[in-house]
Structures are given as structure tokens and as C-alpha cells.
Structure 1
Amino acid sequence: MIEVKNIHKTFGENHVLKGISADFKEGMCNLIIGGSGSGKTTLLKCMVGLHEPEEGSVIYDGRDFTRMNFETRIEIRTEIGMLFQGSALFDSMNVEENIMFPLNMFTDQHRKEKLERVNFCLERVNLAGKNKLFPAELSGGMKKRVGIARAIAMNPKYLFVDEPNSGLDPKTSIVIDDLIQELTEEYKTTTIVVTHDMNSVMGIGENIIFLHQGEKWWEGSNKEISDTDNEELNEFVFASKFMRALQKNKK
């Protein structure tokens, strides 16, 4: 489990996060949702150490990440897998080299062991045999799956996913959501997904945190979200569904 306690983050005079507290549960798909500028990506970056909060704590299974120095954070960093919004694959590396990158950085395994792990991860995301392709040769959905393969290469306890369905068609988005959910259940990871996609919310949102103007405005499951009387959340849900319908009609 990851506990976030009273997180504050500012950029200049902009107070982006205003005392966020939440628990992200093991073996579940925990979603952070909210409109643009609500602070959801900033919260994720504070949780993995890409931003340092002015106040508050991020606690990984009893270990206070925010109180650690760079050296003592390394242990937790090796337990984290992350899929960035744009997949963030290295263009100059092929699929095999991209997935092997964290293994080269954080392990002293022999190449044979690393290659076995790469091939296992590729099989797990249904991309077996695609080792030698370069990112320019991959579709958007394939890039996301390679990004997921790299994120699970270290067999992480904690999986962070930023806007996994950005730029994908609805059918491919469902494939990515299903894969994230399967991996979460299979490895009992604590998975945190930042998204604005209501299909993802209703499909895999076991534990949902809704942010509004830098505050936690609502918390619950996808089974509870339709029955809420939270005005801002209802506006967000309606607007998201409306935009999705509009996009479908354009196609």
C-alpha cells in the first residue's frame, strides 16, 4: 500500500496540491482522475520523486519516501515501474534494448538472464518476437505495450501509469486497460493510473480519487461513482461522456 498524507505542492504562487491525503491499495487499480489542471499528474510525480512536496509524506509500505535522501530512495525506486504518457521509448534503441534498460541500470544479471526476462515481458504483453523492431516501426498501441513491458521488467511492487490511453482508439484503449488490470491482479501490485478516460474509470477503477482544484473532492469505486451527489464529479463525468460521444460521431 502507498499512503499519501497532507501533500502540498506549489509552483511559484500557484498552489497546485492543497493537502492531499489518500491510500492506494495493494492488488488494485487505483485511479487518479480530474480535469486539466486539477493536480493529478503533479500528485503522481510527487509520489515517485520527480517533484518534491513542500509538506506531507509519501509512505511505501511503512517507509517514508519523502524523508529519504537520494541513496536511500534507490531501494524503493527499484520496486517502481512506470509507464509515461507518451510511452517515452528511446528512439535509438530497439524494443529489446528499451525493455532491458532498467535491468542494465539496476541489476547485475548476465545478459542471458536479462534476455529471458525481456522475452517473458514481451510474451506477457502479446508482443513475442518483436525484439528487434524500433519505436518508429510500432503503432501507438504497440508502443504502449512495450512501455508496459519495460515497466514490469523489474517485477515491480508499485506500478505508475500516466494517461495510458492518450491518443489511442477506443478498441486499443480497452486492450491496454485489460492488460493493466490483469497485471495488477496477477502480481498483486499497487497500481496507480492517472486518467481522464471514463471508459477506464468504469472498467478498471476499483479505487478512485477525484481531484478538483488541487483538493481531494471524492473517493470511491467505479460502482459508486454513478450514484454520487458530488456536483463537480458529476460535471466531470458528464463532460467526459459527452466528449467521448462527440469524438465517436466525428469518426
Structure 2
Amino acid sequence: MIQVEEIYKSFGSNDVLKGITADFKPGKNNLIIGSSGSGKTTLLKCIVGLHEPTSGEVLYDKENFTSMHFEGRVPIRKQIGMLFQNSALFDSMTVEENIIFPLNLFTEMSRGEKLDRANFCLERVNLAGKNHLYPSELSGGMKKRVGIARAISMQPKYLFVDEPNSGLDPMTSILIDDLISEITQDFQTTTVIVTHDMNSVMGIGDHILFLHNGEKWWEGSNHQIAHTDNKELNAFVFASKFMQAAREKL
């Protein structure tokens, strides 16, 4: 489990996060939602150590990640998988080489073991046999799936996903959501997803954290959203659904 306790983050005089406290549970799809500028991505970056909180603590299974020096964080970072918004694949590397990249950095596996792991991950994301393609030869949805394959190559205990459905059509978005959800359940990962996609929220949102102006404004499941009387959350949900419907008509 990941816990954040009283996380504040400021950039100069701009207070982006204002005392966020939340638990992110293993085997669950933990979603962070909110409008642009609400602090979603900043919170994610504080959790993984890309930003240092101004104050507050991040705990991984009760270990205080925030107070650790760089060397002390390495064992936890080896258990983290990340899927970036644009997939962040290396254009000069094949699919197979992209997936093996973190294994080269952080493991002492033999070449054969790395290939076996890459093939397993490709099968898991339904891309078996695509080893020698380059990112330029892949569709947007395939790139996302390769990104997921790379993210799980180290068998992570914690999986972080930033806007997985950005730029994808609705059908492919559902496939990506289902894939992430299956991996979360099968491997009991603590999965944290930043998204603005209400289809994702309603489809796989086991636990949802709604941020508003840098504060935790609401917390609950996708089933509870339909019955909330939270004015700001209702406004966000309605606006998101309206915009998605408008895009699909274009």
C-alpha cells in the first residue's frame, strides 16, 4: 500500500498541493482525477520522487520514502513501473529492446532470461511476435501496450500510469483500461492512474481521489460517484461527459 500524508507542494508562491492525505491500495485501480491545474500530475510526481514535497510524507508499505536519500530509495524504485502519457518509447530501439531496457539497468538476468521476460510481457499485452518492430511502425494503441509491457517487465509492486488513454479512440481506450485492470488484479499491484477520462473512472475506478484547487475534495468508488452531492465533482463529471460526447460526434 502507498500512503500520502499531508502532502504540500509549492513552486515559489504557487501552492499546488494543499495537504493531501490518501491511501492507495494493492490490487485496486486507484484513480486521481480533477480538472487541469488541480494538482493531479504534481501529486503523482511527488509519490514517485520526481518532485520533492514541500512538506508531508510518502510511505511505501510503511517505509518513509520522503525521508530517504537517493541510495535508500533504489530498492523501492526497482519495484516501480511507469507508463508515461506519450508512452516514452525509444524511437531507435525495437519493441523488444524497449522492454528489455529496464532489465539491463536494474537486473543481472542473462540474455536468455531477458528475452523470455520480454516475450512474456508481449504476450500479456497481446503483442506476441512484434519484437522487432520499431515505434514508428506501431499505432497509438500498440505504443501504449508496449509501454505497459515495459512497465511490467520488472514485475513491479507499484504501477503508475499517466493519462493512459490520451490520444486514443474510445474502443482502444477501453482495451487499455481492461488491460491495466487485469494486470492490477492478476499481480496485485498498487496501481495509481492519473486520468480525465470518465469512461475509465466509471469502468475501472475501484478507488477515486478527486482533486480541486490542490485539495482532496472527494474520495470514493465509481459506484459512489453517481450518488454524490459534491457540487464540484458533479460539475467535473458532467463537463467531462459532455466534452467526450461532443468529440465523438466530430
TM range (shorter): over 0.9
Residue of structure 2 in register with 1:204 after alignment = 204
CA distance in 1, matches of 2:47, 2:59: 9
The alignment status of 1:41 with 2:41, answered yes or no, reads: yes
1:18 equivalent in alignment to 2:3:
no
The whole-number CA distance in structure 1 between the counterparts of 2:121 and 2:84 is: 17
For 2:13 and 2:226, the matched residues in 1 are separated by: 35
SS of residue matched to 1:66: coil
Deviations 1:79-114 (A, max 9, x none): 000000000001111100000011000001110000
Q: Percent identity?
A: 73
Aligned mates of 1:200, 1:137 — CA distance in 2: 27
Paired residue for 1:180? 180
Aligned to 1:118: 118
Q: Distance in 2 between matches of 1:97 and 1:248?
A: 36
In 2, Cα distance between equivalents of 1:101 and 1:15: 36
Which position in structure 1 is the counterpart of 2:89? 89
Secondary structure of residue in 2 paired with 1:18: strand
Give the Cα separation in 1 of the matches to 2:115 and 2:133: 15
Q: Secondary structure at the match of 1:160?
A: strand
Structure 1 residue 53: Cα displacement: 0.5
Partner AA of 1:210 in structure 2 = F
Tell me, in whole angstroms, the C-alpha distance in 2 between the residues paired with 1:133 and 1:248: 31
Give the TM-score normalised by the residue count of structure 2: 1.00
Residue aligned with 2:17, SS: strand
In the TM superposition, residue 12 of structure 1 has moved relative to its aligned partner by 1.4
Where do residues 15-164 of structure 1 align in structure 2 (5 Å cutoff)?
15-164=15-164
CA-atom RMSD, angstroms?
0.4
Q: Which amino acid aligns with 2:231?
A: E
TM-score (norm 1): 0.99
One-letter identity of the residue aligned with 1:90: F
Query: Distance between the aligned counterparts of 1:139 and 1:115, measured in 2?
Result: 23
CA distance in 1, matches of 2:239, 2:223: 19
The alpha-carbon deviation at position 61 of structure 1 amounts to 0.3
Q: Distance in 1 between matches of 2:13 and 2:83?
A: 30
Q: Which runs of 5+ in 2 are unaligned?
A: none
Count residues in correspondence: 250
**What pairs up with 1:227-246 in 2 under 5 angstroms?**
227-246=227-246
SS in 2 for 1:87: coil
Is residue 2:218 matched to residue 1:218? yes
SS of the residue corresponding to residue 46 of structure 1 reads helix
- Cα deviation, 1:119-149, whole Å, max 9, x if unaligned, reads 0000000000101101011000000000000
User: Which residue type is aligned with residue 209 of structure 1?
Assistant: L
Runs (4+) of structure 1 exceeding 6 A deviation are none
Provide the C-alpha distance between the structure 1 equivalents of 2:218 and 2:3, rounded to a whole number of angstroms: 16
User: Distance between the aligned counterparts of 1:105 and 1:54, measured in 2?
Assistant: 30
Once the two structures are TM-superposed, the CA of residue 13 in structure 1 deviates from its matched residue by 1.2
Aligned partners of 1:26 and 1:142: how far apart in 2? 26
Say which SS state the counterpart of residue 36 (structure 2) adopts.
coil
Question: Residues of 1 paired with 2:118 and 2:142: CA distance?
Answer: 15
Structure-1 separation of matches of 2:110 and 2:248:
49
1:248 CA drift (Å)? 1.1
The CA distance in 2 between the partners of 1:149 and 1:188, in whole Å, is 16
Alignment-mate amino acid for residue 217 of structure 2: W
